[in-house]
Amino acid sequence: DIVMTQGALPNPVPSGESASITCQSSKSLLHSNGKTYLNWYLQRPGQSPQLLIYWMSTRASGVSDRFSGSGSGTDFTLKISSVEAEDVGVYYCQQFLEYPRTFGGGTKLELK
Amino acid sequence: EVQLVETGGGLVQPGNSLKLSCATSGFTFSTAWMNWIRQTPGKRLEWLAQIEDKSNNYFISYLESVKGRFTISRDDSKSSVYLQMNNLKEEDTAIYYCTWFAYWGQGTLVTVSS
Protein backbone atom coordinates (compact mmCIF):
# COMPACT_ATOMS: atom_id res chain seq x y z
CA ASP A 1 0.00 0.00 0.00
CA ILE A 2 1.13 3.57 -0.65
CA VAL A 3 1.95 5.31 2.63
CA MET A 4 1.10 8.99 2.90
CA THR A 5 3.00 11.04 5.49
CA GLN A 6 2.00 14.57 6.46
CA GLY A 7 4.02 17.22 8.24
CA ALA A 8 2.88 19.34 11.17
CA LEU A 9 2.19 23.05 11.23
CA PRO A 10 3.82 25.43 13.70
CA ASN A 11 0.49 26.23 15.33
CA PRO A 12 -1.15 28.57 15.96
CA VAL A 13 -0.85 30.42 12.65
CA PRO A 14 -1.40 34.19 12.82
CA SER A 15 -4.42 35.38 10.90
CA GLY A 16 -3.37 36.80 7.54
CA GLU A 17 -0.13 34.83 7.40
CA SER A 18 0.49 32.05 4.90
CA ALA A 19 0.73 28.37 5.84
CA SER A 20 2.21 25.42 3.97
CA ILE A 21 1.27 21.81 4.64
CA THR A 22 3.50 19.03 3.37
CA CYS A 23 2.66 15.51 2.30
CA GLN A 24 4.97 12.75 1.13
CA SER A 25 4.04 9.52 -0.63
CA SER A 26 6.00 6.27 -0.50
CA LYS A 27 5.58 5.86 -4.26
CA SER A 28 5.43 8.35 -7.11
CA LEU A 29 1.87 9.47 -7.80
CA LEU A 30 2.80 10.74 -11.26
CA HIS A 31 1.00 8.67 -13.87
CA SER A 32 2.24 8.12 -17.41
CA ASN A 33 -0.64 10.33 -18.56
CA GLY A 34 1.14 13.27 -16.94
CA LYS A 35 -1.35 13.66 -14.10
CA THR A 36 -0.48 13.36 -10.42
CA TYR A 37 -3.07 11.44 -8.47
CA LEU A 38 -3.21 13.44 -5.27
CA ASN A 39 -6.13 15.07 -3.46
CA TRP A 40 -6.23 17.54 -0.59
CA TYR A 41 -9.18 17.74 1.81
CA LEU A 42 -10.14 20.05 4.65
CA GLN A 43 -12.26 18.81 7.53
CA ARG A 44 -13.64 21.68 9.52
CA PRO A 45 -14.71 20.98 13.12
CA GLY A 46 -17.91 18.96 13.19
CA GLN A 47 -18.10 18.59 9.40
CA SER A 48 -17.35 15.97 6.76
CA PRO A 49 -14.13 16.33 4.76
CA GLN A 50 -14.35 18.73 1.83
CA LEU A 51 -12.32 18.33 -1.35
CA LEU A 52 -10.03 21.30 -1.92
CA ILE A 53 -7.55 20.19 -4.58
CA TYR A 54 -7.39 17.26 -7.02
CA TRP A 55 -4.79 16.20 -9.58
CA MET A 56 -2.31 17.78 -7.11
CA SER A 57 -2.98 21.35 -8.23
CA THR A 58 -6.56 21.74 -9.54
CA ARG A 59 -8.90 23.58 -7.20
CA ALA A 60 -12.31 22.01 -6.70
CA SER A 61 -15.38 24.05 -7.57
CA GLY A 62 -16.02 26.90 -5.19
CA VAL A 63 -12.65 26.65 -3.42
CA SER A 64 -10.92 29.93 -2.68
CA ASP A 65 -7.88 30.84 -4.80
CA ARG A 66 -6.02 31.30 -1.50
CA PHE A 67 -5.49 27.52 -1.70
CA SER A 68 -2.90 26.16 -4.08
CA GLY A 69 -1.34 22.74 -4.53
CA SER A 70 2.09 21.89 -5.90
CA GLY A 71 4.73 19.20 -5.82
CA SER A 72 6.65 16.50 -7.57
CA GLY A 73 5.83 12.80 -7.85
CA THR A 74 6.34 12.08 -4.15
CA ASP A 75 6.52 15.42 -2.33
CA PHE A 76 3.56 17.75 -2.18
CA THR A 77 2.61 21.05 -0.64
CA LEU A 78 -0.71 22.71 0.04
CA LYS A 79 -0.25 26.44 0.49
CA ILE A 80 -2.82 28.65 2.12
CA SER A 81 -2.19 32.32 1.55
CA SER A 82 -3.54 34.77 4.10
CA VAL A 83 -5.06 32.28 6.56
CA GLU A 84 -8.59 33.07 7.72
CA ALA A 85 -10.83 31.77 10.51
CA GLU A 86 -12.74 29.53 8.08
CA ASP A 87 -9.50 27.67 7.25
CA VAL A 88 -9.29 26.15 10.72
CA GLY A 89 -9.51 22.37 10.77
CA VAL A 90 -7.60 19.28 9.77
CA TYR A 91 -6.09 18.89 6.31
CA TYR A 92 -5.63 15.49 4.71
CA CYS A 93 -3.80 14.41 1.58
CA GLN A 94 -4.95 11.28 -0.27
CA GLN A 95 -3.57 9.29 -3.16
CA PHE A 96 -5.91 7.84 -5.75
CA LEU A 97 -3.34 6.25 -8.03
CA GLU A 98 -3.75 2.77 -6.61
CA TYR A 99 -6.06 0.67 -4.48
CA PRO A 100 -6.39 0.88 -1.60
CA ARG A 101 -6.79 4.62 -1.66
CA THR A 102 -4.77 5.91 1.29
CA PHE A 103 -4.79 9.09 3.34
CA GLY A 104 -2.20 10.98 5.31
CA GLY A 105 -2.68 11.23 9.05
CA GLY A 106 -3.89 14.81 8.89
CA THR A 107 -2.42 18.22 9.71
CA LYS A 108 -4.22 20.49 12.13
CA LEU A 109 -4.38 24.21 11.49
CA GLU A 110 -5.14 26.49 14.42
CA LEU A 111 -5.54 30.23 14.17
CA LYS A 112 -3.87 32.79 16.38
CA GLU B 1 -27.77 19.96 -5.37
CA VAL B 2 -25.79 16.81 -4.70
CA GLN B 3 -26.84 15.00 -1.54
CA LEU B 4 -25.63 11.79 0.09
CA VAL B 5 -27.39 10.61 3.24
CA GLU B 6 -26.06 7.67 5.22
CA THR B 7 -28.25 5.69 7.60
CA GLY B 8 -28.06 2.44 9.50
CA GLY B 9 -25.37 3.12 12.07
CA GLY B 10 -25.71 2.32 15.74
CA LEU B 11 -24.42 0.31 18.67
CA VAL B 12 -23.70 -3.34 17.93
CA GLN B 13 -21.96 -6.12 19.82
CA PRO B 14 -18.76 -7.69 18.53
CA GLY B 15 -19.45 -10.48 16.07
CA ASN B 16 -22.76 -9.03 14.96
CA SER B 17 -23.73 -7.49 11.63
CA LEU B 18 -24.95 -4.13 10.39
CA LYS B 19 -26.01 -2.82 6.99
CA LEU B 20 -25.42 0.81 6.09
CA SER B 21 -27.35 2.61 3.39
CA CYS B 22 -26.55 5.74 1.45
CA ALA B 23 -29.34 7.47 -0.44
CA THR B 24 -28.22 9.94 -3.08
CA SER B 25 -29.71 12.65 -5.27
CA GLY B 26 -28.62 15.49 -7.49
CA PHE B 27 -26.38 13.58 -9.88
CA THR B 28 -26.55 10.68 -12.32
CA PHE B 29 -26.12 7.83 -9.88
CA SER B 30 -26.14 5.09 -12.50
CA THR B 31 -22.79 6.23 -13.91
CA ALA B 32 -21.19 7.14 -10.58
CA TRP B 33 -18.43 5.16 -8.91
CA MET B 34 -19.33 5.07 -5.23
CA ASN B 35 -17.09 4.67 -2.22
CA TRP B 36 -17.30 3.98 1.51
CA ILE B 37 -14.72 5.63 3.76
CA ARG B 38 -14.56 5.57 7.54
CA GLN B 39 -13.04 7.85 10.15
CA THR B 40 -11.79 6.29 13.34
CA PRO B 41 -12.13 7.88 16.79
CA GLY B 42 -8.51 9.01 16.36
CA LYS B 43 -9.59 10.91 13.19
CA ARG B 44 -7.75 8.62 10.80
CA LEU B 45 -9.46 8.29 7.40
CA GLU B 46 -9.61 4.82 5.89
CA TRP B 47 -10.94 4.00 2.43
CA LEU B 48 -12.95 0.77 2.56
CA ALA B 49 -14.54 -0.08 -0.76
CA GLN B 50 -15.54 1.16 -4.19
CA ILE B 51 -18.17 -0.05 -6.63
CA GLU B 52 -18.00 1.03 -10.26
CA ASP B 53 -20.95 1.49 -12.62
CA LYS B 54 -22.77 -0.89 -14.92
CA SER B 55 -20.55 -0.09 -17.90
CA ASN B 56 -17.65 -1.42 -15.82
CA ASN B 57 -19.65 -4.47 -14.73
CA TYR B 58 -20.05 -3.06 -11.23
CA PHE B 59 -16.39 -3.86 -10.54
CA ILE B 60 -15.62 -3.80 -6.81
CA SER B 61 -12.44 -3.05 -4.88
CA TYR B 62 -11.93 -3.54 -1.13
CA LEU B 63 -9.43 -2.67 1.53
CA GLU B 64 -7.70 -5.97 2.21
CA SER B 65 -8.44 -5.93 5.93
CA VAL B 66 -12.23 -5.83 5.40
CA LYS B 67 -12.41 -8.17 2.41
CA GLY B 68 -14.62 -11.11 3.29
CA ARG B 69 -16.38 -9.25 6.11
CA PHE B 70 -17.70 -6.17 4.29
CA THR B 71 -19.76 -6.18 1.09
CA ILE B 72 -20.51 -3.10 -0.98
CA SER B 73 -23.53 -3.11 -3.29
CA ARG B 74 -25.75 -0.68 -5.13
CA ASP B 75 -29.27 -0.30 -6.42
CA ASP B 76 -29.33 2.06 -9.38
CA SER B 77 -33.14 2.13 -9.35
CA LYS B 78 -32.99 3.65 -5.87
CA SER B 79 -29.83 5.72 -6.38
CA SER B 80 -28.44 4.03 -3.31
CA VAL B 81 -25.29 2.29 -2.22
CA TYR B 82 -24.94 -0.11 0.69
CA LEU B 83 -22.31 -1.56 2.97
CA GLN B 84 -23.04 -4.88 4.63
CA MET B 85 -20.71 -5.39 7.56
CA ASN B 86 -20.42 -8.81 9.19
CA ASN B 87 -18.46 -10.16 12.14
CA LEU B 88 -17.91 -6.65 13.44
CA LYS B 89 -14.94 -5.92 15.69
CA GLU B 90 -14.31 -3.15 18.18
CA GLU B 91 -11.76 -1.64 15.80
CA ASP B 92 -14.59 -1.13 13.26
CA THR B 93 -15.93 1.62 15.50
CA ALA B 94 -15.95 4.73 13.32
CA ILE B 95 -18.01 7.24 11.40
CA TYR B 96 -18.85 5.73 8.01
CA TYR B 97 -19.14 8.02 4.99
CA CYS B 98 -20.30 7.31 1.48
CA THR B 99 -18.63 9.44 -1.14
CA TRP B 100 -18.81 10.25 -4.81
CA PHE B 101 -15.97 12.25 -6.33
CA ALA B 102 -15.80 15.48 -4.27
CA TYR B 103 -18.98 14.83 -2.33
CA TRP B 104 -19.32 13.23 1.09
CA GLY B 105 -22.35 12.48 3.17
CA GLN B 106 -22.63 13.57 6.80
CA GLY B 107 -21.64 10.11 7.98
CA THR B 108 -23.25 7.53 10.24
CA LEU B 109 -21.67 6.41 13.51
CA VAL B 110 -21.03 2.72 14.10
CA THR B 111 -20.02 1.69 17.61
CA VAL B 112 -18.94 -1.88 18.20
CA SER B 113 -18.89 -2.66 21.89
CA SER B 114 -20.07 -5.27 24.34
Query: Which pLDDT score is estimated for B20?
Result: 98
Average per-residue pLDDT for chain B: 97
Check A103 against B107: CB less than 8 A apart.
no
- Asked if B64 and A101 come within 8 Å (Cβ–Cβ), the reply is no
pLDDT at position B5, please? Answer: 98
Q: How many CB atoms lie within 10 A of CB A98?
A: 13
CA distance A53 to A57: 6
Q: Which residues have C-beta within 8 Å of that of residue A100, sequence separation ≥ 6?
A: A1, B47, B61, B62, B63, B64
Mutate to test the interface with A, among B2, B37, B47 (most CBs of A within 10 A): B47
Instruction: Note whether B81 and B19 are within 8 A (CB).
Output: no
Residues of B in contact with A3 (CB under 8 A): none
pLDDT band at B25 (very low <50, low <70, confident <90, very high): very high
B63 in contact with chain A, both atoms CB, cutoff 8 A: yes
Distance from CA of A4 to the nearest CA of B (A): 11
Between CA B58 and CA B74 the distance in angstroms is 9
Contact A54 B102 (CB under 8 A): yes
| Closest CB from B43, B44, B61 relative to A99 | B61
pLDDT tens for chain A, 112 residues: list them: 999 999 999 889 999 999 999 999 999 999 999 999 999 999 999 999 999 999 999 999 999 999 999 999 999 999 999 999 999 999 999 999 999 999 999 999 999 8
